[in-house]
Amino acid sequence: MREAMRTLAHISDLHFGRIDPPVAAGLTIELQRLAPNLIVASGDFTQRARASQYREARAFLDQLPQPVLAIPGNHDIPLYDVFRRFFFPLSNYRKHITRDLRPVYQDEEMLVIGVNTARSFTASFDGFWKDGAISPEQLLDIELQARDTPEHLVKILVTHHPFIPPPGERVHGIVRGATEAMIKLEQHGIDLLLAGHLHMGYSGDVRTHFEATKRSMLSIQAGTATSTRRRSEPNAYNWISVEQNRVTIEVREWRGQAFATRTTRTFNRLPDGWT
């Protein structure tokens, strides 16, 4: 049973251009030492989507153990360069991080699907510019990926924008289309949702936020791994151990010299969900 366990390092919101260099160096050392089965990087690689910031992010990624599954965040689209923002929003991302905007990782234990929720057109009446979206086409894509996957695989969806807000907070920052998405993700048998964006680490069952959802899906949020734009939390990332019926989330936070475990939460899959 133990050998069926997979380890996953969930890093997010690196924000090259505004990073704390000792933290980035410490994270590289830690991930090289721990060598997870997969590193998930859930967006905001840069602060302003500049080529120089992307080059720094690329140099950082090159030092990490592979494979790395990456998706972009809202900061990976230029904000002030309006021409690029609307016509070539992810040109630098594609050049320096990856050309693959629909990344998928699969092994004998888990299926991990990355979805790009960053959008150029976000100043709409129903959302603030930095809140991303998930589209019907992307949900169809997820369905096609998940459909032919063996039942026992743990199915993990990675987005930049979260599906549930931090405990006790209002709805801000939630991905647009989340309510519609929940219906589909439930049908497609998704088990875990990994995201970032809010620079706060927390986790919970989506059913606490979506009353219509029957399926228990765990939403796991990572803080900012390396950015100085911290929201009253130290830099941190999630070390996630995945088994078919058990998920353990260790929040590893920066303590000035090295990363150390802040909290460990274990969820067991029981008939009524992840508890």
- Residue 76 in the binding site for Fe ion (CB under 5 A): no
Identified binder of Fe ion from the candidate list 74, 92, 117, 221, rule CB under 5 A: 74
Residue 15 or 215 with smaller CB distance to Fe ion: 15
Helix pair angle (178-187, 136-147), 10° resolution: 20
The SS3 of residue 2 is helix
> According to CB under 5 A, which one of 188, 197, 207, 209 is a site residue for Fe ion?
197
What one-character-per-residue DSSP string does 116-171 give? Answer: ----S---STTS-TT--B--HHHHHHHHHHHHTS-TTSEEEEE-SS-SSPPTT--S
Which is closer to Fe ion, CB of 63 or CB of 228? Answer: 228
CA distances from 69 to 72, 114, 160, 165 (A): 11, 7, 12, 24
Query: How many residues does this entry show for the chain?
Result: 275
Nearer to Fe ion, 98 or 213 (CB): 98
Q: Name which of 13 and 20 has its Cβ closer to Fe ion.
A: 13
Indicate the residue among 163 and 274 with the shorter CB distance to Fe ion: 163
- Pick from 13, 186, 191, 205 the residue near Fe ion by CB under 5 A: 13
Q: How far apart are CA 214 and CA 78, in angstroms?
A: 38
Q: Smaller CB distance to Fe ion: residue 37 or 116?
A: 116
User: Collapsing DSSP states into helix, strand and coil, what is residue 1?
Assistant: coil
Size of the site for Fe ion (CB under 5 A): 5
Q: Which of 17, 26, 73, 162 binds Fe ion (CB under 5 A)?
A: 73
Stretch that binds Fe ion, among 108-116, 190-198, 231-239, 252-260 (CB under 5 A): 190-198
CB of 117 to Fe ion, least distance (A): 9
Which lies closer to Fe ion via its Cβ, residue 39 or residue 110?
A: 39
**In whole angstroms, how close is the CB of 34 to Fe ion at the nearest point?**
23
Nearest Cα neighbor of 255 from 26, 8, 42 is 26
Where in the chain does DSSP place strands (E)?
Answer: 6-11, 38-42, 68-71, 104-106, 110-114, 154-158, 192-195, 202-205, 218-221, 236-243, 246-254, 259-270, 273-274
The nearer residue to Fe ion, 152 or 231, going by C-beta atoms, is 231
Quote the tokens at residue 263: 């909290």
Q: Contact letters (x/-) for Fe ion, 207-246, by CB under 5 A?
A: ----------------------------------------
Q: Which stretch binds Fe ion (CB under 5 A): 79-87, 91-99, 194-202, 267-275?
A: 194-202
For residues 18 to 57, the per-residue mask of contacts with Fe ion, x marking binding by CB under 5 A and - elsewhere, is --------------------------x-------------
- DSSP state letter for 211: T
Q: Where on the chain is the footprint of Fe ion (CB under 5 A)?
A: 13, 44, 73-74, 197
